Structure 1
Amino acid sequence: MDFEMNSIQKSLQQMQAPDAEQLEQRAKELESNRSVPIEQILNPAFMGRHTRFASIEAFFEDGGFVVEKDEDFEALPQTALDQHARMVTPFDSFQEMVDKAVGEYIMRSLGF
């Protein structure tokens, strides 16, 4: 039992949140990088946790969406994208899925 408690305490010490200076630096880095590829936001880890897809590309393919470049993504019909997200994810819209992913991306980038 002591071994488990010591291991837990050691793990907790290693998992401490970043200090204020680190947070400020990471926030500045985030602020300066305003354009992030969708594959980094809707990354495989996020997609695996929140959908049945291994990647955003698989999600698009399943919905019949062809996305090979930024212009293709921007031209996607929002209604169809929302409908697909509603049908195959726990989210009510594609934007809701993106918002959740952005929140996770920010927290991860800040070190949480």
Structure 2
Amino acid sequence: MSQKFVNNIEKIQQNLKEIEQTNQLRFDELFNTEFLSQCSSFTSLEDMFEKSGFKVENADDFKAIPDDEWEHFIVTNTHYASWKEMQTDAAKKLLNKRLLKGLK
């Protein structure tokens, strides 16, 4: 095995330990500009909230949005068939990026 391969395996192990210590993922991390630009026309999380027509300034505001209305907004304005699917994909992409961080 090459030293580069060994170093990458060690880096993945280190990254995995960091991921294991993560208790929750922040909305702005999950729905970052890169992710949103790949699945919608939104330029940012703030842009998505603004275009939704709902006032979202904090977690309580977001929780107050009726589930069926938010679901309709997501299905209509993204490439996803549901809000749950969008959340799951965002988490997968973020965790994969963190896992592979620093590989050469």
For normalisation by structure 2, the TM-score amounts to 0.82
Q: Give the distance between the partners of 2:82 and 2:48, measured in 1 at CA.
A: 13
Deviates more, 1:31-40 or 1:79-88: 31-40
Question: In structure 2, which of residues 22, 26, 47 is the aligned counterpart of residue 33 of structure 1?
Answer: 22
How far the C-alpha of 1:20 sits from its partner, in A, is 2.6
1:19 is aligned to 8
1:89 maps to which of 78, 92, 101? 78
Aligned-pair CA distance for 1:89: 0.8
Aligned residue number for residue 102 of structure 1:
91
Structure-2 change in CA distance of 1:66 and 1:33 (3 Å): same
The aligned runs of 1:31-70 (5 Å cut-off) are: 31-70=20-59
- Establish whether residue 73 from structure 1 lines up as the match of residue 62 from structure 2: yes
The CA distance in 1 between the partners of 2:54 and 2:61, in whole Å, is 9
* Higher RCO (CA < 8 A, seq sep 6+): 2
Q: Report the identity percentage.
A: 27
* Structure 2: runs of 5 or more not aligned: none
User: Which entry has the higher C-alpha Rg, 1 or 2?
Assistant: 1
